[in-house]
Amino acid sequence: MHSAKASGFAALPLAAAAVWMGLLLPLHGLARGGEEALRVRLATRDIPVGRADIQIVPATVTVSPDTKRVAYVARQGGDWAVVADGVPGKGYDGIGAHSLVFSPDSLRVAYAAVRGNDWLAVVDGVEGRGYEGLRGLVFSPDSKQVAFAANRGNNWLAVVNGVEGKAYDGIGDFSFSPVDRRVGYTAIRGRNWLAVVDGVEGKGYDGIGRGSLRFSPDGKRVAYGAQRGHNWLVVVDGVEGKEYDALGKSSFINPDDNRRAAYGVLRMNPELAALAEGGDLETLGDSGPVFSPDSKQVAYWARRGNQWKVVAGGNESKGYDGFLRGSNLVFDTPKSLHAIAVLGREALRVEIELVE
């Protein structure tokens, strides 16, 4: 049954309505002079096209890794909510910008929400405890663990699976091992940056490469790039390597695949710029530290003076002018790896064998 408003017509005065309704009577009904008009039944079908009371924020639309699920942030009445697979979640005063994430297996959803003065991590619809701030919400590669940095007073702490770590002045990046459920992150205390692995603090440095902390494929070893003064070095299982003018900067690596994501930066002259993607004045390549498939070796790019070298198994390659953007430092076997380097005006595939 429709009301006048629901049917899309404005309400009419009674007299006008009578005239309007009369005009709709079948002509043959009128001709029969008083006979009852033929009755008409309407068959309707409702097709949902979206909820009018929800205002989607287009920039927040997030697709799951398997592309089968969609989630986004929407305004509903006076609240903000995350809508996953068309189903709105609980309403909040706000949703953290860029905090909405799917787990790698596409089965789980997490985001940061605000209620009053509290920031909450909402994972699979379940709220965590409140904090004064929250950022860096991330799932582990196996989708079983959840971590984020939380603010309380003047301190930041790592929260992994709901368990709070020590308080620091700041928390950096998280990294998970592919096996054994190990977790590491970078933290700052005063002027010192630390790598914290399984709750154990490493040595303090002037800096730790963003995203450089990673575990070996078997989960037993850990490495990261650290800064001391103006020099950089790679720390493997707590043991420091040689110091260099610079290291290849790294980003998170998914240990479940063979890709190696990282990059080294080298200022280059305009003649070499044509070899770099985009024609800019920097050669960007992908670098380490990267573990071999058997976890026994580690390799990375390092710069001394004006030359870049591949350091593998503790030994240095010959020097090159730089590495091309998008060229991965990749182990092909436990004892061989390759990269794409620049020398003069040539781009070279550099193949390295680790010979005992």
**Rounded (5°) CA angle 243-270-259:** 55
- In this prediction, residue 283 carries a pLDDT of 37
Task: Write out pLDDT tens, residues 154-197.
Answer: 999 999 999 999 999 999 989 999 887 899 999 999 999 999 99
CB distance 213 to 198 below 8 Å:
no
pLDDT digits (tens, 9 = 90+) for 6-54: 333 233 232 332 222 222 323 333 334 444 444 555 544 555 444 555 6
Q: Are 289 and 236 in contact (CB under 8 A)?
A: yes
Q: For 73-107, what is each residue's pLDDT tens digit? A: 988 888 999 989 888 899 999 999 899 999 999 99
Residue 212 has pLDDT above 90, yes or no: no
Distances (CA, A) of 347 to 237, 280, 336: 34, 16, 20
Tell me what pLDDT residue 221 has.
92
* pLDDT of amino acid 61: 83
pLDDT of amino acid 268: 30
Q: Which tens digit of pLDDT belongs to each residue from 265-291? A: 222 333 333 333 333 223 334 456 888
Domain boundaries, given as residue ranges, for the chain = 54-151
Q: Give the pLDDT band (50/70/90) at residue 327.
A: low
Give the pTM: 0.65
Q: How far is CA 145 from CA 128, 242, 283, in A?
A: 14, 34, 36
**CB neighbour list of residue 169: distance below 8 Å, 6 or more residues apart:** 154, 155, 156, 187, 188, 189, 190
Q: Which two tokens stand for residue 249?
A: 């900067």
Q: What pLDDT is stored for residue 290 in this prediction?
A: 84
pLDDT at 42: 52
Q: Percent of the chain, pLDDT > 70?
A: 72
Q: In this structure, what token pair is assigned to residue 354?
A: 């680790």
The reported pLDDT for the residue numbered 300 is 84
Degrees to nearest 5, angle at CA 121 with 115 and 124: 115
CA neighbor of 113 nearest in space, from 103, 125, 85: 125
Quick one: what percent of the chain has pLDDT higher than 90? 36
Q: CA torsion angle for 143, 103, 96, 156 (degrees, to 10)?
A: 20
Give the residue carrying structure tokens 């997490």.
Answer: 110
Name the band, by pLDDT with cuts 50, 70 and 90, for residue 322. confident
Q: Is the model's pLDDT at 308 over the cut of 90? A: no
Cβ atoms 348, 339 nearer than 8 A:
no
Per the prediction, the chain carries an average pLDDT of: 75
